[in-house]
Amino acid sequence: MATCEVRGHIVDSQFYSTGYTTDEARRIFCDKYRYQRWLDVEAALATAQGELGMIPEAAAEEIAKKAHIRNIDLDAVQEGLKTTSHSLLPLLNALQQVCDGDSGEYIHYGATTQDIQDTAQMLEIRDVVTIVERDLREILLRLTVNSERYTDLVTIGRTHTQHALSMTLGLKMAVWLDEVWRNYERLMECKDRLLVSQLFGGVGTMDAFGDKSLELLSRFSDRLGLKVSLTAWHASRDRGAEFLATMAMIAGAFAKIANEIRSLSRSETGELEEPFQAGKVGSSTMPHKRNPEMCEQVIVLARLVKANAGLGFEGMINEHERDYRGVRLEWVTMTDTSLFVCGLLSLMKTILKDLIVHENRIRQNVDKAATLISTETLMFHLGETIGKQTAHRVVYETSMEAIETDQPLIDLLMNRPEISGKFKREDLERTIDPAHHIGLSKELTQRVIDHVKKQLSKAAPIDEAIRTCPLSDQGGACTV
């Protein structure tokens, strides 16, 4: 009889997790991997202290050698958690047990628990940022391809859900591209503020480290590949709040794009459609349905991320020099947000890569709406002869009549005394050709494409590989 493995969070569901995150992201937050990161930070601390003569060099070497989760009795750690109610001490005790001689006495020398856990969390977030940066670059390149492909495709511009004026599909996508680029810039700008170490002791004075404190901080940070903070941030959780807010903006931009694709996939519109493959079922009772479920899931994930961003600001409210209320919020919000954003980006890559554009339907819709979406140009054309304000009144009144009576606008205009005898019908029909008044759609599209391509060409390569749990290749010992 098969055993039931407890999987209480949606991202851990054996059946539904792929709608919320990716295996790549889940592995970052594996329980055992988190412990390994804590051990890595302890090893880096001991090694730096050994180099500076703050602890015996032999002890530092032994600690670094044994600071691997495969050496740790995790059952003992779990029992220790029940006894001590302390998140780190049982792991340190287990590490001490496997260190030879008195080397274990020098573990965690002068540090406070939050130094280790905050630093390790930034190592986790560094991997997340690497994934987000990589995926954003892929999406930016895909959007440049799509924008270029549809540079000349005339479509209906809509405002307040109504037909407005003509434009190109390329420009619509270039607007998406521009917003995604700004969020990419935001991510790059926050990296330097975000990815820093923490090693300041109980109340942030570094007293236990003596006169080598700052040199120790520098070596410790360099060894871990993190930047050095100017002072302690145990109770200053603005970095976490900025990360969550940045992720919320990234997610929100893609939710807007997904919502637009969803809106334009309505049966009445039928212009865009998310990827579809044979076998994909939209309804258990209506076999004809092709629902935009990926787009809807992107919006779901963005809403979850937005909710966590609010908790990030709550986490900034702490007392005195240390307070775990903000930190414990981050253990949930930064983890969940990271998982959801990685899932969202994976979905968006699929949606944009294989986005279905129904060009014929777009052209049909443009042709059908040609007269009314050309009223601005028509007004200015008429205004040259009868005055702009008069033209606005005439076109407005005639447009309302056309909508209410379902009669052709041009027919109604030619019967107006302000128009009859002053304009030729063929001139007005040429004027309302949507392709003749797309403005600078093509130029603006190319302007965005050129800018993004230029900036991406100057971007440094992403040479930092996503780290994997050291137990993940040992017969499934590390599971996600």
Is 457 catalytic? The answer is: no
Would you call 472 a catalytic residue per the annotation? Answer: no
User: Which residue among 160, 284, 288, 457 is the active-site one?
Assistant: 160
Q: Which of 13, 86, 283, 436 is catalytic?
A: 283
Name residues whose C-beta falls within 8 Å of residue 465's C-beta, 6 or more positions apart in sequence.
none
Residues identified as active-site: 160, 283
